[in-house]
């Protein structure tokens, strides 16, 4: 094999490998810029997070997961919130508490416990109930209803920008550990 055909083969292999890596990353990871204060103190306005788009390929979302999804009111917009209720769960709010299937959540991620009014929801099959951590300033399932599973883009796993805010996103699984498994 002469030098020019060897070089051409190397270039083609490098380009093919680059394309494969690009496609794998494109279909598994997405970045998302937090817009607003609805997830404070966990996430802040203009932070960038990595979203695992394959997280729910073999398992459903869990309570406490922070997800990015298409907003059911306007699917051209993406939102980021915490999963509170799974299909079949009954969610009850008072002015300052959230209950899931009768268990009052002790939520260390909530800035100020706040709900406009006491309400009750039962999460339908294939839907999820989500809330922002900054309850006073969060437009979420309390206002516009449930998030269909098909609208979920993926699980937010880490803050990567700004670099001094780098962290894995805490799902606070212990907060939800006393609730019976999903139906």
Kindly report, residue by residue over 125-140, the tens digit of the pLDDT. 999 999 999 999 999 9
Whole-structure pTM value: 0.85
Any catalytic annotation for residue 96?
no
Tell me: pLDDT of 27 over 80: no
Q: Which of 81, 111, 141, 155 is catalytic?
A: 81
Strand order in the sheet with 90-93: 103-104, 98-100, 90-93, 119-122
Kindly report, residue by residue over 46-99, the tens digit of the pLDDT. 999 999 999 998 999 999 999 999 999 999 999 999 999 999 999 999 989 999
Any catalytic annotation for residue 81?
yes
């Amino acid at each position: 094999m002469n030098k020019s055909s060897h070089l051409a083969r190397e270039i083609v292999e490098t380009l093919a490998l680059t394309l494969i890596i690009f496609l794998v990353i494109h279909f598994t990871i997405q970045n998302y810029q937090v817009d607003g204060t609805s997830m404070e103190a966990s996430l802040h306005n203009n932070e960038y997070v990595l979203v695992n788009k394959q997280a729910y390929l073999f398992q459903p979302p869990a309570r406490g997961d922070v997800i990015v999804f298409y907003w059911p009111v306007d699917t051209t917009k993406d939102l980021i919130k915490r999963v509170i209720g799974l299909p079949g769960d009954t969610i009850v709010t008072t002015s300052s508490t959230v209950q899931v299937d009768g268990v009052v959540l002790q939520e260390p991620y909530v800035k100020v416990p706040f709900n406009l009014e006491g309400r009750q929801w039962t999460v339908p099959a294939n839907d999820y109930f989500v809330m922002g951590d900054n309850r006073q300033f969060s437009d979420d399932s309390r206002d516009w209803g449930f998030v269909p599973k098909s609208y979920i883009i993926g699980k937010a796993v880490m803050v990567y920008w700004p670099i001094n805010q780098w962290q894995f996103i805490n799902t606070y699984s212990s907060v939800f550990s006393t609730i019976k498994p999903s139906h």
